[in-house]
């Protein structure tokens, strides 16, 4: 199979598993809507646009973390992580396929979250939507890499947030400020870094 074919097959496997299990996406949807609802009722009337965007980004980052935590859960629970690594394909294809699957879940959650944010707070502009789209790429790129690092550890649920959240700080800064060029640069750097190092990360995790 070609590299693209391997990526497609692996991503399709993850998406089909989620369609059957219906665990990751419903959890992400429930979390992000609950978080935005709490923020809506907890904040005083007249909250500034910057503060509202900060809350949106907080909700999105933790929603993404929920999806990333479950990125390798099927292989972990079934003891198939080693088998995944031994799949006769480029190991970076595993990273790209997992990233695509998580990106699909995150985008689906945001299809609901962004209109809810617009209704609860001060509407939604095109720059914020563009920032969210760019940030998603960086989130899944670096988050999937850290998810592979954490899957072999004993305290997996604790290790992933410790690795991911500091790396997500620039995404929040760029998103709240609407610095699209900064998000593009972040995406490019971390996509190349994750693509180039994933093979060595999973070799140590296996």
pLDDT along the chain (206 residues), means of 10: 80 84 87 91 75 88 90 71 68 87 93 91 85 94 89 74 92 90 95 88 66
| Predicted local distance difference test score (pLDDT) of residue 176 | 87
| Predicted local distance difference test score (pLDDT) of residue 78 | 67
| Predicted local distance difference test score (pLDDT) of residue 202 | 74
| Predicted local distance difference test score (pLDDT) of residue 92 | 82
- Report the C-alpha gap between 205 and 190 in whole angstroms: 20
| Predicted local distance difference test score (pLDDT) of residue 83 | 65
Q: Would you state the structure tokens that stand for residue 157, as one six-digit string?
A: 């649920």
Of 3, 188, 185, 177, which Cα lies nearest the Cα of 87? 3
Of 133, 152, 64, 153, which Cα lies nearest the Cα of 101? 64
What does the CA dihedral 65, 183, 202, 200 come to, rounded to 10 degrees? -160
- What pTM, to 2 d.p., does this model score? 0.88
Q: What is the DSSP letter of 43?
A: S
Q: Would you state the structure tokens that stand for residue 40, as one six-digit string?
A: 């809506």
| Predicted local distance difference test score (pLDDT) of residue 59 | 93
If you count them, how many residues does the chain have? 206
| Predicted local distance difference test score (pLDDT) of residue 52 | 83
Q: What burial letters (b/e) apply to 86-116, b meaning 16+ CB within 10 Å? A: eeebebbbbbbbbbbbbbbbbebbbeebbeb
| Predicted local distance difference test score (pLDDT) of residue 81 | 62
| Predicted local distance difference test score (pLDDT) of residue 62 | 93
| Predicted local distance difference test score (pLDDT) of residue 76 | 72
Q: Decide: 206 and 81 in contact? Cβ < 8 Å.
A: yes
């Amino acid at each position: 199979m070609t590299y693209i074919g391997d990526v497609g097959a692996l991503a399709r496997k993850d998406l089909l598993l989620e369609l059957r299990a219906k665990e990751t996406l419903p959890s992400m949807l429930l979390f992000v809507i609950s978080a935005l609802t709490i923020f809506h009722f907890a904040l005083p009337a007249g909250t500034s646009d910057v503060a509202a965007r900060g809350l949106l980004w907080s909700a999105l980052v933790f929603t993404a973390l929920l999806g990333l935590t479950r990125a390798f859960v099927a292989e972990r629970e079934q003891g198939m992580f080693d088998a995944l690594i031994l799949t006769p394909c480029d190991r970076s294809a595993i990273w790209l396929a997992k990233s695509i699957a998580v990106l699909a879940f995150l985008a689906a959650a945001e299809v609901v979250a962004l209109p809810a944010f617009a209704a609860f707070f001060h509407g939604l502009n095109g720059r914020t939507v563009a920032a969210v789209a760019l940030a998603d790429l960086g989130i899944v790129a670096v988050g999937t890499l850290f998810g592979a690092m954490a899957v072999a550890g004993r305290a997996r649920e604790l290790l992933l947030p410790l690795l991911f959240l500091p790396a997500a700080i620039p995404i929040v800064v760029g998103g709240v400020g609407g610095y699209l060029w900064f998000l593009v640069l972040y995406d490019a750097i971390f996509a190349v870094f994750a693509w180039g190092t994933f093979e060595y990360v999973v070799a140590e995790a296996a």
